[in-house]
Amino acid sequence: MAKLYFTYSAMNAGKSTILLQSAHNYRERGMTVMLWTSHHTKAGDSDLARISSRIGLSADAHRFAEDVDLFDAIAAAHASTPLSAILLDEAQFLTRDQVWELSSVADRLSIPVLCYGLRTDFQGKLFDGSAELLGIADSLREIRTICHCGKKATMTARVDEAGQPQTEGQQVDIDKDHYQSLCRQHWREVTGLQEN
């Protein structure tokens, strides 16, 4: 039976690297995979988006926006060319309905769905897609990265070009240079949020 997987972490833990390595492993065994990423991701050389890792790996991927029915899109592709797995980056940007659509891909089409994304935003709040995945995924896995103090980083702080912490603004900012991965204690100190 296929499963819905959610692999999550703070920024810069290597989620995209692991996704791209998994895609390579499937393809190396002659299997067909379908890659997806958020419409917020920069475009590649075509109408597709590009999933890129910090260590230089990259691959083209289909884009999802809030109006994309992922079950229908994946089912149509699977009818044309049987798919062995779906790998989705930036899963935090999924809508709650899209998470359920992906669960239907696993349940009804018997295709494993591997989602990778952030758990919380720069204000410490769950993303909608992450919250739904944490609730219904068959398998949860945390990728660990470390804070500057050496503790596990579980939070992501947003900073401006001068390195000053940002505590307000739009939830989405895709410039990875604007983020720092921190342990909860240092995130509180940097942001001043959730001080009790």
pLDDT confidence band for 171 (50 / 70 / 90):
low
119-163 pLDDT tens trace: 998 888 999 999 999 999 999 999 999 999 999 999 888 877 777
How confident is the model at residue 177, as a pLDDT? 65
Tell me the three state secondary structure of residue 185.
helix
The pLDDT score that the predictor gives to residue 56 is: 76
Question: Once rounded to an integer, what is the mean pLDDT over residues 22-28?
Answer: 96
Active-site annotation holds for 195: no
| Amino acid at the residue 191 | T
Q: Where are the domains of the chain?
A: 4-144
- 164: which 2 tokens? 């000053």
pLDDT of res. 158: 82
pLDDT surpassing 70 at residue 195: no
- Which residue among 66, 90, 101, 142 is the active-site one? 90
Task: Measure the CA–CA gap between 180 and 10, rounded to whole angstroms.
Answer: 9
What's the confidence (pLDDT) of residue 122?
87
Strands, sheet with 4-9, edge to edge from the N-terminal-most edge strand = 49-52, 58-64, 33-38, 85-88, 113-118, 4-9, 139-142
Q: What is the CATH number of domain 4-144?
A: 3.40.50.300
